[in-house]
Chains A and B, each alone.
Chain A
């Protein structure tokens, strides 16, 4: 069965600092991987996705993620965070041909001014 682990429940970084959010997945075949962001009181918005090809994928809002098969990881990064990036971030995995996603527990990001 698929599973996703986000080891960090809460991360605090200073505005302008770099960011990396960790995501580890478990799935027997080639995974389809996603990062979503949720602002307070809002639904989820897709940041980026990986299906195949280049293991470094670019998303919206200046985010990128790198797929590392050997480590079963799909970490999200941003070179310089802005106060508006404060939100909760969810990693998700979908199986080939599946119509459903399995989500991690989420990482809450706080930005210090």
Chain B
């Protein structure tokens, strides 16, 4: 049972480049979320999904897109990377959001 798998683990982008952070879970969880973690700011919600075909914005959605075509996958797209998007990104999933989320190990992104 792999849990929540995030790829890549590390990435360096140039300003203006686009990329997709991958997230996959094998627990048949309905709920999935993307957070970014910055020093002194805890985790902030970017986008979340309560099932295939359903997504919504969190606290800091600007500059990011998501889609949920399958239950298993929830990719996060950076449309035009900016240095302010340098962060550690976590994907999380849950069978019922209020019963706790399982987190991936994170993607460390640097935008230069």
Binding site for B on A (CB under 8 A): 4, 6, 9, 32, 34, 36, 41-46, 49, 51, 90, 94, 96-106
Are B97 and A94 neighbours in the complex by a CB distance under 8 Å? yes
Are B103 and A45 neighbours in the complex by a CB distance under 8 Å? yes
- Complex interface: chain A residues within 8 A of B45 (CB): 100-102
**Set B41, B42, B97, B101: member contacting A46, Cβ < 8 A:** B101
The distance from the CB of B58 to the nearest CB of chain A, in whole angstroms, is 6
Most B Cβ at <10 Å: residue of A32, A43, A46, A97:
A43
List B4-63 residues whose CB lies under 8 Å from chain A.
4, 31, 33, 35, 40-45, 48, 50, 58-59
Closest to B106 in A: A43
The distance from the CB of A63 to the nearest CB of chain B, in whole angstroms, is 14
Are A51 and B100 neighbours in the complex by a CB distance under 8 Å? no
Most B Cβ at <10 Å: residue of A6, A36, A44, A99:
A99
A-B contact pairs, 21 of them (CB 8 A): A4-B42, A32-B98, A34-B100, A42-B105, A43-B90, A43-B106, A44-B43, A44-B92, A44-B101, A44-B103, A45-B103, A49-B100, A51-B98, A96-B98, A99-B31, A100-B33, A100-B45, A100-B48, A101-B101, A102-B59, A103-B44
Are B42 and A104 neighbours in the complex by a CB distance under 8 Å? yes
Are A43 and B104 neighbours in the complex by a CB distance under 8 Å? yes
- Complex interface: chain A residues within 8 A of B4 (CB): 43
